[in-house]
Amino acid sequence: MGSESIKCKDLLIVESPAKARTITKYLGAAAEVRASMGHVKDLPKQRFGISPDNGFQIDYVPLLGKRKVLEELRRIAASAERVLLAADPDREGEVICWHLAMELQATNANIYRIMFNEITKPAILQAMKQPERIDERKVNAQQARRVLDRIVGYKLSPLLWKKVKRGLSAGRVQSVALRQICDREADVRVFKPQEYWIINAVLRTPDGPTFRCSLARIDGEKREITTGEFAHSLAAELNTVPFTTGKVEKRELHRKPMPPFITSTLQQEAIKRLGFTAEKAMQVAQALYEGKDLGEGVSTGLITYMRTDSPRLSAESIEAARSFIHKQFGPEYLPAEPRLYKGRRSAQDAHEAIRPTDVNLTPDRVKNYLAPQEVKLYQLIWERFIACQMADKVLHVVAVDIEAGRLTLVAQGSTVVFPGFEAARQLPSDANAHEEEGAETEEPQDVVLPPLAPGMPLVLISVDPNQRFTRPPARYTEASLVKWLEERGIGRPSTYAAILRTIRDRNYVNVVEQKFHPTELGMVISDLLVRSFPQLLDPDFTAHLEGELDDIEEGSVEWSAAVQAFYGDFLTSLARAEQEMPTLKGSAEPTNEVCELCGKPLVIKWGQRGRFIGCMGWPECRFTREFATADGETEGQDVASGRKCPKCGGPLLSRMGKFGRFLACSSYPRCNHTEPFAIGLSCYEPGCTGELVERSGKGNRVFYGCSRYPECNFRSWQRPVGKACPECGHPFLVEGKSKQGPVYRCPRKGCSYKEQAATE
């Protein structure tokens, strides 16, 4: 179907300039394609902007820099046959379309909503032939979310400024995530390891092959071995008894492929297998979605929309995958029926799972046109999509009991009979991949047992008692925290990256070897909020609110009534907290120590970086030192970066030097490895493969430059954010501050775009 099938010239409005350029090349003269540059209206920055006494009426105002955008869109709309609003196919996109419609309806009454799940010519042309109306229920659901987040952020953050210190923030979902990290830390700190022992043995068959086994039962029952004395007595016993093969069980085990990616699972796998952050995964996925030039002079959208919680696949994409599998792998790799996947009841099923737009665009075909990180993520998505439509992996599993007097040992073996979907998986795990609670684990390597039959005599070669200790609960990583949020139905997948970044940037957590360690500040803030707002910080209550938002979208709940029910209880808790929450700002907690300079008592005070030890004689005596936390660390000390030293494997620490922060091995001076302090973003210089690192210039002023300096001279005096400017298309925004907290703004001269950083 060609663009000539469209009879009139339309105004088609999308969110980003990159998307607009791609679609313009598809449609040519059939439509005028413009970008709204993201949201055009929002709540005011300097005031609450919500009227609780008037049904929670919202005072939306045009965003800074958007008046000219709206004027231009009105001008074009006045002469267009139709206005087609094509913001992203989710609740937030629906609100953008709603605001645009309100602004443009006076100049053109023919306003329609169109949606496409992928930026390809057929998908866009099909959407233009089937225009719809704006979904008011979806708009109301998003308005309710925005109002709830505004209430919490606008009312709660100033309370923390008053009680603790300025610059802190609290968010409806952010605070629940922080509480979960702190609760897990509390469990870790009170954990007491318990000793246990395992006993392994090496046996030989009459024909000579050896194999390993382990003690499983004593007198036919499982028993814990908790002392070395008992373990060594059992080992001695094994040296005195004959060994005979007992029961031999053989079975065929089928492993099914994982579903295609949704936003949360893509973030989890990108973190575990590629070493990305959740924020980086979304940044790279956005670029793949909006389109890349594959050498033909036109951008091609490589993946479907990356903000989705539905694993559903279109019939066309399933058929394309099955055809590819049959041709490339053979009919034996194709299940008899297509595999269909269903999401959770709360999943928004407006669009499908994350998949390639064209299965024939294999990673090998596109890798020369993509940045290295884009290749990795695309390969992850492509492999997962192909695998989800392939046959089961089949393993041959053998379990053998070995009788040794009153003791029973067990040997297990497995071999791959048919690789099935694993044939599509070529991407190796990242070198920094790690085990974590709830993580998907790789299949074990083949363990081949020699032929064993019941009654076969065996010879003991060696027996080895091993002392072990129970391990504390695993601290959360980005991947496991995203998994917890998604499983509990808390927040939306599209907000997870911003939530994780916020709790890091507020110094509520440190990341040590890829795991979240709450700072003393984070523990204190979480404790204060839990005590004063127990319902707000309750994961079940937060999940219940998410369910109410779904009910609003379904039309079974009126949005202002749901917000009113929350607001009344929240105001009651807020008033109580104003009176009862302890004030830490300016407080001085006594210690049993005296100042080494003047002899006056030392006290614990609060500063910009958390608690510290100071002298009661201040300001005459300015003695201070770092405050030691419960786990022996200090609040102002160098913290681990979450990475390991490439020379010796020890943790890399963030330290301050003559030219700013840098990473150094914790084993210094034994190991003198150092490297620049990376901020997790690729260099924005076209064609550069470097990454952005923190540096220090004249007057110790921090700036951000390329790791490939002097080959690349890119620099920014403000910290870049992994998000393009929705107004002018500048490749990144930078972080600044305002009275309401952090803001992201465009650094391009003449562009005034600015947005409040997410604090949900």
pLDDT band, very low/low/confident/very high, at 345 (cuts 50, 70, 90)? low
At residue 7, the pLDDT reads 42
Collect all residues with Cβ–Cβ distance below 8 Å to 233 and sequence separation of at least 6. Answer: none
Higher per-residue pLDDT: 627 or 179: 179
Q: Which stretch, 17-21, 103-107, 746-750, has highest mean pLDDT?
A: 103-107
What is the arithmetic mean of pLDDT over 193-200?
95
pLDDT band, very low/low/confident/very high, at 1 (cuts 50, 70, 90)? very low
What is the arithmetic mean of pLDDT over 499-506?
87
d(CA 744, CA 758): 10
* pLDDT > 80? residue 701: no
Lowest mean pLDDT of 58-72, 231-245, 717-731, name the range.
717-731
pLDDT band, very low/low/confident/very high, at 559 (cuts 50, 70, 90)? very high
The answer to whether 671 touches 665, Cβ cutoff 8 Å, is yes
pLDDT band, very low/low/confident/very high, at 642 (cuts 50, 70, 90)? low
Torsion on CA atoms 119, 120, 124, 127, rounded to nearest 10: -90
What is the arithmetic mean of pLDDT over 357-369?
93
What's the mean per-residue pLDDT of the chain? Answer: 85
pLDDT in tens, 47-88: 899 999 998 999 999 988 888 999 999 999 999 999 999 998
Surface-to-core class of residue 306, CB atoms within 10 Å of its CB (0-12 exposed, 13-18 middle, 19+ buried): buried
Count, residues in the chain: 760
Q: Which whole-number Å values give the CA distances from 212 to 228, 241, 425, 471, in the listed order?
A: 21, 17, 30, 25
Fold of 195-256+393-469: Topoisomerase I; domain 3 (2.70.20)
Give the type of residue at 4.
E
Collect all residues with Cβ–Cβ distance below 8 Å to 498 and sequence separation of at least 6. Answer: 279, 757, 758, 759, 760
* pLDDT > 90? residue 712: no
* pLDDT > 70? residue 617: yes
Higher per-residue pLDDT: 675 or 526: 526
What is the arithmetic mean of pLDDT over 522-548?
92
Domain with CATH 2.70.20.10 in the chain: 195-256+393-469
What is the arithmetic mean of pLDDT over 473-496?
90
pLDDT band, very low/low/confident/very high, at 633 (cuts 50, 70, 90)? very low
d(CA 748, CA 104): 28
Collect all residues with Cβ–Cβ distance below 8 Å to 638 and sequence separation of at least 6. Answer: 653, 654, 655, 656
Q: Taking the CA of residue 685 as centre, how many other CA atoms within 13 Å lie in the half-sphere pointing to its CB?
A: 19
Domain with CATH 1.10.460.10 in the chain: 142-191+477-580
What percentage of the chain reaches a pLDDT higher than 70?
88
| DSSP string across 633-675 | -BTTS--EEEEE-TTT-PEEEEEEETTEEEEEETTTTT---EE
Please enumerate, as own/partner, the contacts of 317-323 that have beta carbons within 8 Å and a separation of 24 or more. 317/352, 317/355, 317/359, 317/385, 318/389, 320/358, 320/359, 320/360, 321/359, 321/385, 321/386, 321/388, 321/389, 322/389
At residue 401, the pLDDT reads 96
At residue 426, the pLDDT reads 63
* pLDDT > 80? residue 650: no
Collect all residues with Cβ–Cβ distance below 8 Å to 232 and sequence separation of at least 6. Answer: 465
At residue 630, the pLDDT reads 45
At residue 51, the pLDDT reads 93
Domain with CATH 3.40.50.140 in the chain: 3-134
What three-state secondary structure class fits 572?
A: helix
* pLDDT > 70? residue 347: no
The yes-or-no answer on residue 154 being catalytic is: no
* pLDDT > 80? residue 403: yes
d(CA 545, CA 543): 5
At residue 33, the pLDDT reads 94
What is the arithmetic mean of pLDDT over 499-511?
87
Residue with tokens 């302890």: 582
Fold of 142-191+477-580: Topoisomerase I; domain 2 (1.10.460)
Q: What is the CATH number of domain 3-134?
A: 3.40.50.140
pLDDT band, very low/low/confident/very high, at 750 (cuts 50, 70, 90)? confident
| DSSP string across 731-750 | S-EEEEEETTEEEEE--STT
- 539-554 vs 174-190: helix crossing angle, rounded to 10: 150
d(CA 577, CA 529): 9
* pLDDT > 70? residue 661: no
* pLDDT > 80? residue 742: no
At residue 634, the pLDDT reads 44
At residue 635, the pLDDT reads 44
Instruction: Determine if the pTM surpasses 0.85.
Output: no
pLDDT band, very low/low/confident/very high, at 29 (cuts 50, 70, 90)? confident
Residue with tokens 């949201």: 39
At residue 669, the pLDDT reads 62
From the candidates 305, 378, 567, 753, give the one annotated as an active-site residue.
305
Q: What is the CATH number of domain 264-387?
A: 1.10.290.10
Give the type of residue at 720.
P
